[in-house]
């Protein structure tokens, strides 16, 4: 671990989704703020559970996140947590920033989530100033849409004329262009995602809600999450059809693609993802199962609540 920390500074290193994890930011469910009003929800699945009276309880979400923290402890991963802001949902650390190579890029997120960024300022203060990137104001991006993959950067986006009307449209083409300019040596590949403010089963909130690359050259995909079939097909061809686990609409709704890799061989997954976890084990992966079904009610899961800082 000493190699990654120089004079108290964090030396960022994230080149892909699966190299051995050494340090991560894990969100927090403490002082979560209770059940929000429908008007304050960021996604259709949260609205669905608010209206049904099944919105997750803070105590249950804290328990789920602590179980995940225990898995990181088991694999000797250094875990950073946000400073707790009273009555604020700080679960989804992937929304507020993301790391590519040695740079941390602040997400230009929904305006009323600015304080979430402030809660990880103590982490940013340990990163060299020139490696802290803030994109221009017109570049909208969230970390769930951005996946570094060695020589590639995969980015989910939406460019429809109704972009401004869709609270579920989080990353625009201005951000895609800006990230390409930041990393000119990489191939940035964007994918138009299906969006809905009202139907969670027809909404890919982020790219990681319908796609996740894994170790051993494997990937999880959901075809209907992509607006343009040839872009979906590009991913099938890139990984090879025989290496792709295609999830159903119901499995996408349950967030089956939102697993998280500790290494090429070890994947953290929700314990109820029976079909997926059986396939993963058959493909030679070690699957660390945790309960995360309450957090999933907010249309986010394991990848959404984690922001890697250092991978080998």
Of 198, 217, 204, 183, nearest to 253 (Cα)? 204
pLDDT at position 1 is 30
pLDDT at position 165 is 77
Query: Is residue 10 a contact partner of residue 123, using CB atoms and an 8 Å limit?
Result: yes
pLDDT digits (tens, 9 = 90+) for 233-276: 999 999 999 999 999 999 999 999 999 999 999 999 999 999 99
pLDDT at position 6 is 42
26 - beta bridge partners? 306
176: helix, coil or strand? Answer: helix
Structure tokens at 40: 């304050």
User: Residues 6 or more apart from 162 whose CB is under 8 A from it?
Assistant: none
pTM of the predicted model, to two decimals?
A: 0.93
pLDDT at position 33 is 85
pLDDT at position 107 is 86
Give the helix/strand (H/E) hosting 174. Answer: helix 173-182
- Mind listing the domains of the chain with CATH numbers? 10-311 (3.75.10.10)
User: Residues 6 or more apart from 139 whose CB is under 8 A from it?
Assistant: 108, 172, 174, 175, 178
For 111-126, b/e burial (b = at least 16 CB within 10 A) is: eebeebbebbeebbee
pLDDT at position 39 is 85
Q: How far apart are CA 132 and CA 175, in angstroms?
A: 16
Q: How far apart are CA 201 and CA 198, in angstroms?
A: 9
pLDDT at position 299 is 85
For 141-158, b/e burial (b = at least 16 CB within 10 A) is: bbbbbbbbbeeebbbbbb
37: helix, coil or strand? Answer: coil
pLDDT digits (tens, 9 = 90+) for 190-237: 999 999 888 888 988 899 999 999 999 999 999 999 999 999 999 999
Order across the sheet with 266-270: list the strands. 260-261, 266-270, 286-290
Query: Is residue 212 a contact partner of residue 55, using CB atoms and an 8 Å limit?
Result: no
Q: Which residues in the chain show pLDDT less than 70?
A: 1-8, 109-112
């Amino acid at each position: 671990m000493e190699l990654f920390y120089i004079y108290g500074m964090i030396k960022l290193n994230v080149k892909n989704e699966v190299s051995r994890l050494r340090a991560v930011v894990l969100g927090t469910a403490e002082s979560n703020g209770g059940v929000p009003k429908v008007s304050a929800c960021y996604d259709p699945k949260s609205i669905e559970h608010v209206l049904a009276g099944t919105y997750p309880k803070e105590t249950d979400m804290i328990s789920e996140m602590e179980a995940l923290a225990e898995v990181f402890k088991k694999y000797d991963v250094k875990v950073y947590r946000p400073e707790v802001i009273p009555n604020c949902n700080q679960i989804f650390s992937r929304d507020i920033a993301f790391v590519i190579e040695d740079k941390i890029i602040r997400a230009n997120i929904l305006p009323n989530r600015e304080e979430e960024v402030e809660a990880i300022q103590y982490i940013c203060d340990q990163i060299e100033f020139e490696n802290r990137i803030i994109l221009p104001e017109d570049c909208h991006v969230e970390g769930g849409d951005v996946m570094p993959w060695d020589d590639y950067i995969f980015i989910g986006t939406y460019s429809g004329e109704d972009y401004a009307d869709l609270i579920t449209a989080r990353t625009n083409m201005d951000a895609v262009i800006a990230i390409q300019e930041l990393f000119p040596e990489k191939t940035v590949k964007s994918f138009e995602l299906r969006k809905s403010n009202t139907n969670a089963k027809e909404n890919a909130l982020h790219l990681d809600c319908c796609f996740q690359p894994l170790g051993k050259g494997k990937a999880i995909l959901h075809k209907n999450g992509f607006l343009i079939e040839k872009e979906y097909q590009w991913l099938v061809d890139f990984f090879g059809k025989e290496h792709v686990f295609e999830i159903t609409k119901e499995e996408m709704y349950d967030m089956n693609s939102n697993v998280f890799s500790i290494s090429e061989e070890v994947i953290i997954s929700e314990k109820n993802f029976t079909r997926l976890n059986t396939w993963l084990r058959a493909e030679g992966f070690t699957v660390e199962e945790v309960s995360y079904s309450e957090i999933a009610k907010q249309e986010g899961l394991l990848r959404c609540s984690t922001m890697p800082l250092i991978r080998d």
